Amino acid sequence: MAHLRTSVWGPAEFVGLPPWWLVGEGLLAGSLGAVAIVGTAVVGAWYGLPALAAGEAGLVCAVALVLYLGMVRAGRALVGLVAVLAVCLALQVPQAAAGVVLAERGRVESVVVTSVEGGATAAASRGRYLCSVADQGGIPLRVRIWRGCGQTTRPGDVLAVVYDPKGHVPTRGVEAEVTAVGPLRDVAGWAAALVAACLLAVVRSYRLTHTAAAPAHGTDAATP
């Protein structure tokens, strides 16, 4: 049972509080992993790199973090928890990264609603109302807007949208003031949970080094 507990949760072979350097190592590993996952998506969205913006690079960073925990022989259950949190963060980040780009260099303009679909009875829209819109020149946009599109919205109404002048991220509707803090706040919980799980995994991976006692000088090591 002791061996099973060690394999699943890690040995944690220390008395009292864990060493400060071990806590620092866990915080550093978790923070670097979270920053790498979020940062690659933001860089990809900013420069228009699909492999980074879509979260694929974030998944690679998640795998690298899991491999690191395997190298320090962390408990399997905690490694699995870190893997799940890292993958969830990598899947959530692309939307947040697009929001950061729109907040930093997006431009707001007015569009005209051409049709409204969705609602509580439409399963495909997850209960949202989706507005098809056209710009002031009458050219339809290729995306449908749900932010700012509601039950009372009708064709001919005017909505505000924010778009990327470089076209690297899709256009969105505007609900409130556009800031970079909001999108990052949406993934802050996942990042904090990932750092905490990584810290716990690294701390509990600590093992004491047992050195076998050497035989005394002039004494035969073998016992007849």
* Residue 211, in any domain of the structure: no
In-domain check, residue 77: yes
pLDDT value at residue 215: 43
Beta bridge partners of 111: 159
Whether 135 maps to a domain, the answer reads: yes
* 81 and 190 fall within a common domain: yes
Residues 89, 163, single domain; the answer is no
Q: Which domain holds residue 186?
A: 2-103+179-204
Answer yes or no: do 88 and 196 share one domain.
yes
pLDDT at 184: 86
121-158: pLDDT as tens digits: 555 556 789 999 998 888 999 889 988 888 889 999 99
- Can you give the pLDDT at residue 181? 76
Q: What are the pLDDT digits (tens) for 178-197?
A: 676 778 888 999 999 999 99
| Whether residues 111 and 134 fall in one domain | yes
Distances (CA, A) of 81 to 8, 76, 105, 160, 174: 11, 9, 36, 41, 36
Rounded mean pLDDT of the chain?
84
Same domain, 16 and 32: yes
- Identify whether 219 is part of a domain: no
**Model pLDDT for residues 197-224, shown as the tens digit of each residue:** 999 999 888 876 533 333 444 444 444 3
Cα Rg for the chain, rounded, in angstroms?
A: 26
Q: What pLDDT is stored for residue 6 in this prediction? A: 66
Number of domains in the chain: 2
186 CB neighbour count, 10 Å cutoff: 13
Compute the average pLDDT of residues 53-66: 94
Instruction: Give the angle 30-90-26 at the CA atoms, nearest 5°.
Output: 5
Same-domain pairing of 13 and 97: yes
Q: What is the largest CA-CA distance in the chain?
A: 101
Q: Does residue 147 fall inside a structural domain? A: yes
CB distance 12 to 201 below 8 Å:
no
Are 24 and 204 spatial neighbours (Cβ–Cβ below 8 Å)? Answer: no
Whether 222 is covered by a domain: the verdict is: no
Compare 95 and 13 and report the one with higher pLDDT.
Answer: 95
pTM greater than 0.75 (yes/no): yes
> Minimal CA–CA distance to 147: which of 121, 183, 181?
183
Asked if 24 and 111 sit in the same domain, the reply is no
